[in-house]
């Protein structure tokens, strides 16, 4: 295991497939980074020289926004949208889809944690029957 940019990368994976494990780096960006630095994307992480590891850990944060910085940036963006009361900001704060998707038959995971009035009704009570008093 090699520890680069707060992420453990497995020794037996190719560098092109291991870099996407870092938050903010996908497959295409991984290939681009390997090409820019002159590292073969087919090279295993365990076979990297210390100079290659240093080169990766120095140039990636200087060139790209990754990791905690990227997470903080997206969080601040969502907070800003909610602060100005835009539709997207309201949907983000409610935990609902913000790009126009339907929520009736889909987005169940987004709606799961919300409070539903129908769930508070006694489950033993049948529909249409009045409440029984003791």
Domain definitions of the chain by residue range: 2-64, 65-98
Closest by CA position to 22, among listed 59, 75, 77, 76? 59
Q: How far is CA 61 from CA 3, 47, 115, in A?
A: 14, 22, 41
Q: Which residues contact 21 (CB under 8 A, 6 or more apart)?
A: 7, 9
- Please tell us whether the domain made up of 2-64 is placed in CATH 1.20.1270.10: no
pTM of the model: 0.69
Q: Helix or strand or coil: residue 62? A: helix
DSSP state, residue 102: -
pLDDT at 26: 95
For 63-98, write each residue's pLDDT tens digit. Answer: 999 999 999 999 999 999 999 999 999 988 888 888
| Residue 43 in this model has a pLDDT that exceeds 80 | yes
Mean pLDDT of 19-34: 95
129 or 67, higher pLDDT: 67
| Residue 61 in this model has a pLDDT that exceeds 60 | yes
| Residue 127 in this model has a pLDDT that exceeds 70 | no
Whether 43 and 13 have beta carbons less than 8 Å apart is answered as no
pLDDT at 63: 93
pLDDT at 134: 56
Provide the mean pLDDT of the chain: 85
pLDDT at 114: 62
| Residue 115 in this model has a pLDDT that exceeds 70 | no
């Amino acid at each position: 295991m090699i520890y680069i940019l707060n992420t453990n990368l497995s020794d037996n994976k190719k560098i092109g497939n291991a870099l996407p494990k870092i938050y903010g780096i996908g497959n295409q960006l991984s290939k681009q980074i390997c090409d820019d630095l002159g590292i073969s994307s087919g090279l295993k992480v365990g076979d990297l020289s210390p100079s290659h590891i240093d080169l990766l850990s120095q140039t990636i944060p200087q060139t790209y926004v990754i990791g905690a910085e990227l997470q903080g940036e997206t969080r601040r963006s969502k907070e800003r949208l909610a602060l100005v009361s835009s539709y997207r900001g309201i949907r983000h704060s409610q935990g609902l889809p913000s790009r126009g998707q339907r929520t009736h038959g889909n987005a169940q995971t987004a709606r799961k944690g919300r409070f539903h009035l129908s769930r508070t009704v006694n489950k033993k009570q049948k529909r249409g029957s009045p409440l029984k008093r003791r």
